[in-house]
Amino acid sequence: MAGKRAPLSAERIETKALDLIEREGLEKFSTRKLATALGCEAMSIYHYFPSKAHLMDAILDRIVGEVPIPPDDLGWRERLRQVAFGYRAMALRYPAFFRFMAHHRMNTRTALALLERILSIFDDAGFGTEDTARLFRLFSYYITGAALDEATGYAKGPSAAEAVPGAEVARDYPLVTAVNPYFKSEHHEATFALGLEMLLDGMERRYREAAAEPAASIG
């Protein structure tokens, strides 16, 4: 006798949906296909989620909740560093869904709570409101862009051009050939870390400049 199917629940629907998205891609995901995988009617899913958009928001909340929030007693650089690497790890766990997340409005309570906690790192460090806003956006640009690049595959998009033969590349484009090994996945983490430290260095310089501005104007 076949094993009894687990009862339907919001958590089970989210889990199966995320599994389908990661295995087959966002483009092939549909509520009908999800219902088939769950062994239920599509209308049963709508009992838990009014629409596919509501389901996608629920999945987003679920994976956003996996981004670790570092303790407040750490320095601001280390807190941002931990958020950045945690966010990158989340993106690499769910590369297909991350394509949706990277372009989706973060307006649920769970997502807003994450944004609030990240903003508090800048606020606790002593950055002013305007600098907090601008530096947060810079931080987001970097971690989202880098994670999206890694999650979707560097330079893996479609191209109508025929690939240049390897021998020709080696002969005519020596610099492209020389740097190519460092574009491979085993170097991604080191590249991400380097860029992050350069960004944090720039933030620290901005903080020192802002702190010196009142004194300079008085002098």
| Dihedral over alpha carbons 170, 172, 174, 176 (to 10 degrees) | -80
The better pLDDT of the pair 202, 157 is held by: 202
Spans of all domains in the chain: 10-50, 68-218
Question: CA-to-CA distance for 31 and 162, rounded, in angstroms?
Answer: 38
**CA 45 to mean position of chain CA atoms:** 27
- pLDDT tops 70 at residue 112: yes
Q: Enter the pTM of the model.
A: 0.87
Q: Which class would CATH give 68-218?
A: mainly alpha
Q: Is the dihedral of CA 126, 127, 130, 135 positive or negative?
A: negative
The per-residue b/e assignment along 198-218, b for 16 or more CB within 10 angstroms, e otherwise, is ebbeebeeebeeeeeeeeeee
Contacts of 58 (CB under 8 A, 6+ apart): 10, 14, 49
- Which residue has 């305007």 as its token pair? 130
Quick check: 64 and 112 in contact, CB under 8 A? no
Contacts of 180 (CB under 8 A, 6+ apart): none
Contacts of 33 (CB under 8 A, 6+ apart): 20, 24
Q: How many C-beta atoms surround the C-beta of residue 188 within 10 A?
A: 18
User: Is there a shared CATH topology between the 10-50 domain and the 68-218 domain?
Assistant: no
- pLDDT tops 70 at residue 110: yes
- pLDDT tops 70 at residue 163: yes
| Structure confidence at residue 162 (pLDDT) | 86
* C-alpha closest to that of 199 among 133, 142, 118: 142
Q: What is the pLDDT of residues 40-95, one digit of tens each?
A: 999 999 999 999 999 999 999 999 999 999 999 999 999 999 999 999 999 999 99
| Structure confidence at residue 217 (pLDDT) | 42
Q: Is the dihedral of CA 46, 48, 54, 55 positive or negative?
A: negative
Q: Which class would CATH give 10-50?
A: mainly alpha
